[in-house]
Amino acid sequence: MITLALRMLFNDRAKYLMLVSGVAFASLLMIQQSGVFCGLMSWTYSSLRNLRAPIWVMDPKVEQVNDPKPLRDTDVFRVRSIDGVAWAAPLYTGNVQGRLPNGNFKLVQLVGLDNNTFTGAPGPEKFLAGSLEDLRLPNTVIIDDFAVQRLSDGLTNPDGTTRKIGVGDVFDINDHEARVVGIVKAYRSFTGGPYVFTTYDRALQYAPPTRRMLSFVLAAPVEGMDPAVIAERITRESGLQAQSEANFRHLTLFWFVKNTGIPISFGTTVLLGLIVGLVISGQTYYTFILENARSIAAFKAMGASMPLLIRMLITQSVVAGLIGFGIGVGLAAGFGYLTAPKGQPPFFLLPEILFGVAGFILLITISAALLGVIKVARMDPDTVFRG
């Protein structure tokens, strides 16, 4: 009977397509919007992904990685002196204006790495051109792949054709020369400015001077120690705030969730997807039940039990829902595939999103089926004898 129930559904082409389309659209909307939301949220902690260090030490008032409060330079030494700390290095991060060859200005995310160790610098596997060691040369910077797009305005070849910025090219940061010696692949920053890496001392020259310039102290525990434990010890003994990388990532992410309208905006769209899916599939399936009311009453008259009818209705609805969900996932993945090369809009499809949306779709389809079940339960088998 379950097979017959599915054939009843599949052979009613118009209803079936409507039902599947409704669920597919709802799935697409929920997955795509959730994916873009996660992509956007992943941008908020890009600095933590681009600058790898097990422990981040900062001013106690810092709430997230994009808004550092300056520290004293001596804080680096205080951190180094704490038992269990293997190493500690200074880091500058800040937004500064870069001037392009055509005279335009673009905001860049300036990163100043420890002069000697380049602690936190992108690994060799991230390099698309040049090398990290060249950062020891005067007035040098390493840019990310996004900077290649953003900082190439006005660059031309001798024959007048346009070209992209590359190793050896020069631009200005606050009237200081910045010569490109490397290009790396990096996660995009939330502010939209490309990453420009240089040494700590040179970053202080590029950045507008303030009384304190140190943004963070990057640190690591001695081998075998838990970063969270050492971070707690640094906090306790230095009076600064220290977070393990994972903790700081969560703090940053939830700061944006709590303090911006982004989750509400995307959440509303996801909710709309849910409602649209529920309404379309619920209404279509209910119409399907109404149109088959006499057949279902005939089944009841012929001796179909209520549990069997419920199984038939739920199977019809859930199967249509899962097919629609599959199509929705495919369309959302297609969207991600098409936008991935540009990275805009950001799309980050977590398995949790798929499981969550699958759960919502099951909820929608079972709710739709239950509407039908209520109708069928109220249907007398002797309906078939009435005109």
Partner 1 sequence: MSDAPIPAIQISHVSKSFGQGQALVEALKDVSLEAFLGEMFFLVGPSGCGKTTLLSILCSTLKPTSGNVKVLGTDLTAASNRRLTRFRREHVGFVFQQFNLIPTLTITENVSVPLLLAGRGASAANRLAKEALDRVGLGDKIALRPGKLSGGQQQRVAIARALVHSPDLIVCDEPTSALDSETGHQIMEILDEVARDSKRCVIVVTHDPRILGFADRLAEMEDGRILKITTGTAHATG
Q: Name the residues that contact partner 1, by CB under 8 A.
A: 1, 3-4, 7-8, 11-12, 292, 294-295, 297-305, 308, 380-382, 384-387
CA atoms within 13 A on the CB side of 110: 29
Give min distance, CB of 364 to partner 1, in A. 23
Give min distance, CB of 14 to partner 1, in A. 11
Q: By C-beta, is 137 or 302 nearer to partner 1?
A: 302
Give min distance, CB of 228 to partner 1, in A. 60
Separation of alpha carbons 242 and 252, rounded Å: 14
Task: Dump strand ranges (E) for the chain.
Answer: 55-58, 85-99, 105-113, 127-130, 140-144, 170-173, 176-184, 195-199, 216-221, 241-244
Q: By C-beta, is 135 or 289 nearer to partner 1?
A: 289
> How many other CB atoms are there within 10 angstroms of residue 258's CB atom?
9
Q: By C-beta, is 6 or 225 nearer to partner 1?
A: 6
Separation of alpha carbons 20 and 10, rounded Å: 10
Three state DSSP letters for 236-252: HHHCCEEEEHHHHHHHH
Sequence letter at residue 278: L
Give min distance, CB of 322 to partner 1, in A. 20
On the question of a cis peptide bond just before residue 209, with omega within 30 degrees of 0, the verdict is: no
Give min distance, CB of 260 to partner 1, in A. 51
Place of tokens 């309906």: 383
Helix (H, G, I), strand (E, B) or coil at 145: helix
Beta strands 85-99; 170-173: pairing state = antiparallel
Q: By C-beta, is 306 or 338 nearer to partner 1?
A: 306
Nearest Cα neighbor of 156 from 169, 175, 141, 143 is 169
Give min distance, CB of 383 to partner 1, in A. 9
Angle CA 291–3–309, to nearest 5: 55
Q: By C-beta, is 11 or 74 nearer to partner 1?
A: 11
Q: By C-beta, is 1 or 17 nearer to partner 1?
A: 1
Q: By C-beta, is 32 or 292 nearer to partner 1?
A: 292
Give min distance, CB of 307 to partner 1, in A. 10
What are the tokens at 217?
């102290």
Give min distance, CB of 324 to partner 1, in A. 19
